[in-house]
Amino acid sequence: MATLVCFHAHPDDEAIATAGVMAAAAEQGHRVVLVVATGGEQGEVPDGFLGPGERLADRRRAETHASAALLGVSRVEFLGYGDSGMVATPSNAAPDSFWQADVEEAAQRLASILSEESAEVVTVYDDHGTYGHPDHVQVHRVGVRAAALAGTERIYEATVNRDAFRRLAAAYPAMVEVLDADAMDLGVAEELLTTAVDVRPWLEAKRAAMRAHASQISEQSFFLSLDDEVFAATFGTEWFIRRGTPVPVEALETTLFEGPPPGGHS
């Protein structure tokens, strides 16, 4: 059995982007480790949501542990950086923000975990951070460097299949605005993908993991308000770019754990 380390920017990102592969890996006997770069303290919550004196970062840390337990995660670690906030917001410039972190120093923190775990597989985000969020872009930079430092060869960049989202928008016209991947600059073209993991058998766990992040993902949110059919169509496949694999590929990989070793990092 292998060890999978999923590196994410904020609490709740794991539930949206890689919950399926995490739950599947754990069920199949692999060790799953979740590493989160920030505390997500720049997130927004409704008035009165937090208890008296409760900090959002503390609530989000607890939500992450709850999500991880639902997914079968064996270890959760926070790297301790500040949430940088959305693109072009003042919090991007905060000296303790992840966006301002020294890549080499942050990579050393992550690499120590990869080495401790003898990680065979690590997930990061694509070089655009899936949708351009500063912390997501930094996850790519830090994660790729950390994998090199630790000697973890199998690196998968979690992303979104932009062409699949276009097809979804065409199939569900009422969803066009929320499924407009072009307007959101979301993901990459299908021809750049190497890996498509069918996670439909673990969608119940994925939705439960989302629900665990109640401070950010309410029952009225896009994620939890979808009916079962649309939720499965939207989140039933998790998409990746495997570093070192020339694209386009003849056939998409269907797992993060099999296949020949990469020929080198792209």
Give me the tens of pLDDT residue by residue for the chain, a chain 266 residues long: 999 999 999 999 999 999 999 999 999 999 999 999 999 999 999 889 999 999 999 999 999 999 999 999 999 999 999 999 999 999 999 999 999 999 999 999 999 999 999 999 999 999 999 999 999 999 999 999 999 999 999 999 999 999 999 998 888 887 766 667 887 889 999 999 999 999 999 999 999 999 999 999 999 998 999 999 999 999 999 999 999 999 999 999 999 997 655 554 33
Say what the pTM is.
0.95
Residue with tokens 């599947």: 24
Chain CA centroid to CA 95, Å: 24
Domain boundaries, the chain: 3-46+55-242
Is 197 strand, coil or helix? strand
Contacts of residue 159, defined as CB under 8 A and 6 or more positions apart, other chains included, come to 125, 126, 130, 187, 188, 193, 239, 240, 241
- Own/partner long-range contacts of 107-111 (Cβ < 8 Å, ≥24 apart): 107/142, 107/143, 107/145, 107/146, 107/149, 108/146, 108/149, 109/79, 109/80, 109/146, 110/7, 110/35, 110/79, 110/142, 110/143, 110/146, 110/150, 111/145, 111/146, 111/147, 111/149, 111/150
Decide which of 3.40.50.920, 3.20.20.70, 3.40.50.10320, 3.40.640.10 is the CATH code for 3-46+55-242: 3.40.50.10320
Residue pair 119/227 in contact (Cβ under 8 Å)? The answer is no
